[in-house]
Amino acid sequence: MDLGLRFTVDGPVARVVLDRPEVRNAQTPAMWSALADFGTSLPPEVRVVVVSGEGPSFSAGLDRRLIMGDNDLGQEPLLTLGAKPTAEVYELIAGFQAGFSWLRRPEIISIAAVQGHAVGAGFQLALACDLRVVTPDARFSMREPALGLVPDLGGTQPLVQLVGYSRALELCATSRWVEAAEAKEIGLANIVVPAEELEGTVKDLSDALLGPLPGAIRETKALLLGAADRSYEDQLKAEREAQERRLKQLLAALNG
């Protein structure tokens, strides 16, 4: 079955392409399951993952046909989850989240190449990535609250980490559009580049990320991911422990 995804692995770089341009790369739970499977099966040599969308949009979010009622996709409407037992709902949503959360793993650095719309689940997929390279026409919006739902694909924590609680609440509660220039200004985007330079910029960034030793990047990403949840003293302790592991591994490599 064509899920609307393309996966490739080329040495240390893996690529995920949302490939449903006819519906602006709208997403389905089946796609989230395939994303989770791809993340689980990544070869250990992969260090960078690039996520992009085919056509003029990154992703318009959840396919609206899956919100309620019958659809021609052969998948269960989202609102029917409300009739299921609590434990089953939790399990299903945890499965959805797994399609996004692997992009945060310390052993990889993930890059979202965003053009056009990044809405709802599309916004959360971009937020799941460590870095976001966007084009001037990129537009972000957290649409879930406008539909009576909450963002539940792992997007709330990175959003707060990037823009702060107050701004994150405003963006979610209003579901307003954030254009590329504002995204760069408030920290959602790392860089804004012309559309014709998007691929080359992501390639240059990927190459730069592959320069340092993978163990050092893995430990550093883990330190940064956990920094907000630790006291300063605990962060210093975590740095000591990480550095001790690196020193031992480097010495073992020299003597190996």
Residues 150-166 as b or e (16 or more Cβ within 10 Å = b): ebebbbbebbbbbbeee
**49 token code pair:** 């993952």
**Strands 13-18 and 48-53: what pairing?**
parallel
DSSP character at residue 78: G
Phi–psi pair at 149, nearest 5 degrees: -115, 180
Q: Name the residue with tokens 């959602």.
A: 188
| Sign of the Cα pseudo-torsion (147, 153, 157, 161, in order) | negative
Taking alpha carbons only, the member of 96, 99, 98, 60 closest to residue 78 is 96
* 196 belongs to the catalytic site: no
Write down the catalytic residue from 45, 91, 144, 197: 144
DSSP character at residue 34: H
Phi–psi pair at 156, nearest 5 degrees: -70, -40
Question: How far is residue 138 from each of residues 89, 99, 191, 202, measured CA to CA in Å?
Answer: 33, 23, 11, 15
Residues belonging to the active site: 144
